[in-house]
A and B are shown apart, each in its own frame.
Chain A
């Protein structure tokens, strides 16, 4: 199975900050990577697919990049609604594994 490792596990930031979350795959997954946002008690929401494609309705301050084994999710200017937990997921091969999550907290 492909292991997905996110860093950091927790990130403290302020409104307006630019933040980056990294996701590393244990082997190449080409660009088959998705990013999700989850708030407490809610289902995850798809933000980015195929590493860099923005899902419809997602604000343009979210962006994704990378290919192969290293990927990043960037939020260009943090808004109050962005404080949540973020997960990456590889869908290159079974099993479709997720990273352990990055909790984005208010500083």
Chain B
């Protein structure tokens, strides 16, 4: 079955960096776009970034553009989110998600990881 397991969350000071990782299994990883979606404590969902199945394309929310970088390694079946210049408003649970559509991406997510909490605080 499809499994997505995030890691790398923790407490970090404003301005510092953190790298999240997501390990995927149970599906043809190299055929699907992958997303990161976040949820601030007690708040709604916010889409963060997407990377195409072949890693040739990536898009970001305006709130993280220029600070966050999504990447993937199809040989290891992992997708990462490098987060630089972190702000207090980046505090959230970060979910790794699998896109619904094969060989491209739609924007909808049919599988979600359990999430990893990032807390940005001094």
A binds B: yes
**Contact mask for chain A residues 94-106; partner B; CB cutoff 8 A; 1 contact, 0 none:** 1111111100000
Convert A36-52 into 0s and 1s, putting 1 for each residue whose CB lies closer than 8 angstroms to a CB of B.
Answer: 10100001111001000
Does B47 reach chain A (CB closer than 8 Å)? yes
Contacts of B109 in A (CB 8 A): 34, 44, 46
- Let me know if A49 and B112 touch, CB within 8 A: no
Residues in A whose Cβ lies below 8 Å from that of B45 = 36, 38, 44, 87, 89, 98, 101
Is A55 in the interface zone, CB < 8 Å from B?
Answer: yes
Interface-side segment among B22-30, B67-75, B78-86, B100-108? B100-108
Partner of B46, one of A46, A49, A98: A98
**What residues of chain A lie closer than 8 Å to B108, measured between beta carbons?**
34, 46, 49, 89, 91
**Are B44 and A46 touching (Cβ within 8 A)?**
no
Given contacts A49-B100, A87-B45, A94-B59, contact A43 B107 (CB under 8 A): no
Chain B interface SS verdict (over half): strand
B44 near A96 with CB under 8 A, answer: no
Residues of B within 8 A of A44 (CB): 45, 95, 109, 112
* A99 & B112 in contact (Cβ 8 Å cutoff): no
A96→B95 contact, CB < 8 A: no
Distance (whole angstroms) from the CB of A42 to the closest CB of chain B: 8
Query: Are B106's CB and A45's CB within 8 A?
Result: no
